[in-house]
Structure 1
């Protein structure tokens, strides 16, 4: 009887244990328990040659270099556009920016005013929106530059929160010269070329001749012209004076917390904000997009990094970015999240080579062996760093030279998060994971199309049965050093006349043997010259047939400043000024190597 009772008790206890374990397993969310986290870091205007892991021997970037050593380094990684706004739109959506209307028809391809009405359409699907639907905590820290409002100053139709980001701490615009005292203005070129002296002399002469009776124009007409010219010049000066307050502000969520922002310690503040987000969400899957303000001009670095590099303020800023990457990685390690987090480091396009400070200093990054830089579709303008790290999932120390794109992160994130790709639109990116893990040897990108604003500028072809990577350029900018006055004179290369040269037949290169694009191929040097171009033109025709008409977000009406859309943390008569930023967590000290 005792043995039977004991056996019965053991059975009861065993049954209780099994039921308890079952309840625990059932109460856990199977959809989120095994999903990986994502930390996606994009530096602004970083050159591929600025990093040690891509060959730089004079600029220290140990934290990013370590990610490359312990992860995969992509050496043929392409930004979908050579300018900030369209490149970021493509990164978030996995689609060429022409498909969402995030391209310009004229010279302007980025937003200069926070009170413009253009921006990433709400109909577009971002990886943040999909991740949020899959149970992820999502955050954008840093630069947005994809619009804000549509109809009034608080509708936030283009705000990051309208595109899937639960938390936002950063700038709607970019870090322009005007945002930092003493750095001049983005309108400096227009300002210095306004012939104030000639206008003044002409107006004075006109008035004198009129009053002496030499010119018999009605006095009201003369006075009207004088008043009109005075008003235009006065408005321009007023715009220069108010620009920093109206466009250089820091937001937390929907609230403006600093207007204008102070850039000196901004990277440290954003790093702290990112660390706090990771700490708050360490028990659930998360997606963090850290979009650095640096190293876009006007350049800045915190005091402890200033003067630490051999490359002036630009190098100091790169070193501070590298420190920030190190802080993020230390946090993942401290929270024991590294093994379940995919980390990605890149740049939105190549370095800005033509930027010249008001003191005559050339603030530029390094494109390495590649030609030109930002705003061009030469390789230096679109070939960017691509580093992916995920211990235990992605092999360490692997280098991949297959053509890949920053649009590839969209399908990769969706697949890993457990979501299906949208079936109602064209997705131009391809999931990178099979290539990273060595399950396939070749990229799925047979063709890539390179736009300069709304104009198809170049095509890249990686034939399935060849190691060649052909690239054809239909037009090229008149850039340094061929015409040093074209881009340096305007501080950027434009995609319209008279700043470009058309080529018929197109310039053709084989990037596998000439990655620097130094010598165009000809019918004499390449027997397959015309057959290659014929195949590429057929691909262009097929690509264009896939494009659907969409509203252009860089139309004149969407670009101009609209007073009723102006974000302001105080009344306009106080010049939209406030300083009420706060951070809930502790400050993280800078660790020196």
Structure 2
């Protein structure tokens, strides 16, 4: 006999009231997001060769989501969606060109101040808020100190970390991600132009003077020189650590960053143990270029990537131990996830593969195949959420926004579309199905795929309007472009769309056809209608990730010293603290 819905609701409210009565205050929140972690990298999701005991214990003590989806397959848009509960295209955080993320700290684009983050919403409710680690959602607008996109402009009282993502450029001797710029240079067009010019000159149709040749060579020299300067100065200009709005290390030393950030997180928890708080711990690992502290280097079976995952797991353990030591465990909702799937195309300068594992799922980061957007989702709250529960219903990282607001007593904004749904009824078993009937998957600003979970059906349909071209052809990677792109000539459009039933084919190995699926056309008709309604709900907004917005602007360059000194400083107390601890050991 099934329990009545009102009984589930009463039990859920009773659990919440009990938790609040025990603590005498609103619940705390600790969110941990790993960068580019694959769902197959964790023991609790099936990995048998990489040790992640602390994260596995978190899953045993809480709820594990096995159909948890990132709102975008790239860092910047995914994180914007996570913070706001909205598809990134609604906030202008979806690119219309090739580059879908910010590459320079001196860019003018970023998360608009008009957007409401969960930090901004709970701060009004008396919460202390902090983000520690990677931001990657912009910094300045008009000058190098306006901090219009800084975390403190989005509801976070405290920030310690990096504005940008971690790249191999930030580590001496690891090469440069900018070397891949050559993949965007139109060599073919330039070659055709030069050959045509030479042929016309030979035939006497035009005359190429020495001055023209010399000018062309000078132009090429200037371009090459500027590129060299960009590569040389990139670490100093973009790899820095901030505490609040002050730069405390520029460029940073990467190998001890996770330890320093963990120490900073622990200090935040200790300072705020007597009041409600929200901590967003945003790991720089395991994004390339990979790094691990000496304590973890060489400890895994999976090279530097595995070492980095093990260090992340250690950090999770340190934060969980701190919550227990401060008697905060029973009144804290913990959420652990990744921003998207693993980067499968990254190869080190030594020829080593530096990517994670998508498990059974296809492809990885920057694609909307399941390997690119199906992410870990673990939530723990002792006494409120059941331990050891596994849920396979479609959920999204956007769901954290309304969940947090409802628990903190904040109102859900009514002046904008919120795409996430409160997770608590599903987590507690008050309902058995997710509220996500449709999910829309964007590759930058283009609608790439739609997922449909029909009511009263176990089917989960997924239709692709276009897919990236893999190289080699039968692989699940895009080695020819370093990362899968969303534009011609790197994609193939499908008419009719490719259709899969993920409930039967989670690996997306065999697309359906009218011959193999009787509902083929009717399913696509419903999906197209949903996509059309979704498009109608979108309002025009300024694009924050346009070429103009992501370009380097000298007047926006943050610098802790003069540019002539190449922006160098080291004044972070965490560095000295770590050195003292190492001396004691």
Counterpart for residue 97 of structure 1:
88
- Give the whole-Å Cα distance in 1 for the aligned partners of 2:475 and 2:230: 30
Shift of 1:465: 1.0
Distance 1:460 1:528, change over 3 A: same
Shift of 1:192: 8.5
- Give the whole-Å Cα distance in 2 for the aligned partners of 1:495 and 1:302: 35
Check whether the contact 2:249–2:571 (CA below 8 A) recurs between aligned residues. Answer: yes
- Give the whole-Å Cα distance in 2 for the aligned partners of 1:277 and 1:585: 18
Counterpart for residue 342 of structure 2:
351
Matches within 5 A, 1:392-471: 392-471=383-462
Counterpart for residue 125 of structure 2:
134
Distance 1:170 1:474, change over 3 A: same
SS of 1:187's equivalent in the other structure is helix
- Give the whole-Å Cα distance in 2 for the aligned partners of 1:116 and 1:323: 34
Distance 1:278 1:589, change over 3 A: farther
User: Deviation string for 1:471-497 (max 9, x for gaps)?
Assistant: 001110012552569711221000001
Matches within 5 A, 1:144-543: 144-191=135-182, 216-482=207-473, 487-543=478-534
Which has the larger displacement, 352-361 or 288-297? Answer: 352-361
Shift of 1:80: 0.1
SS of 2:451's equivalent in the other structure is strand
Distance 1:232 1:449, change over 3 A: same
User: Deviation string for 1:55-85 (max 9, x for gaps)?
Assistant: 0000000000001001000000000000000
Aligned CA-pair RMSD: 2.4
User: Deviation string for 1:513-545 (max 9, x for gaps)?
Assistant: 110011111111111111111011110011011
Counterpart for residue 40 of structure 2:
49
Shift of 1:586: 6.4
Which has the larger displacement, 168-177 or 481-490? Answer: 481-490
Check whether the contact 2:39–2:45 (CA below 8 A) recurs between aligned residues. Answer: yes
Counterpart for residue 55 of structure 2:
64
Check whether the contact 1:486–1:499 (CA below 8 A) recurs between aligned residues. Answer: no
- Give the whole-Å Cα distance in 2 for the aligned partners of 1:106 and 1:237: 25
- Give the whole-Å Cα distance in 1 for the aligned partners of 2:382 and 2:475: 46
Unpaired runs of at least 5, structure 2: 1-19
- Give the whole-Å Cα distance in 2 for the aligned partners of 1:194 and 1:497: 15
- Give the whole-Å Cα distance in 1 for the aligned partners of 2:294 and 2:95: 38
Shift of 1:463: 0.7
Unpaired runs of at least 5, structure 1: 1-28
SS of 2:465's equivalent in the other structure is strand
Shift of 1:457: 0.3
Shift of 1:428: 0.1
Distance 1:69 1:454, change over 3 A: same
Check whether the contact 1:95–1:427 (CA below 8 A) recurs between aligned residues. Answer: yes
SS of 1:525's equivalent in the other structure is coil
User: Deviation string for 1:5-41 (max 9, x for gaps)?
Assistant: xxxxxxxxxxxxxxxxxxxxxxxx99x9420000000
Greater radius of gyration (CA): 1
Mapped pair 1:88 → 2:76 = no
1:545 corresponds, among 536, 539, 555, to 536
Check whether the contact 1:473–1:506 (CA below 8 A) recurs between aligned residues. Answer: yes
Structure 1 length normalisation: TM-score? Answer: 0.89
- Give the whole-Å Cα distance in 1 for the aligned partners of 2:581 and 2:224: 48
- Give the whole-Å Cα distance in 2 for the aligned partners of 1:140 and 1:227: 47
Check whether the contact 1:272–1:585 (CA below 8 A) recurs between aligned residues. Answer: no
- Give the whole-Å Cα distance in 1 for the aligned partners of 2:525 and 2:581: 58
Counterpart for residue 25 of structure 1:
none
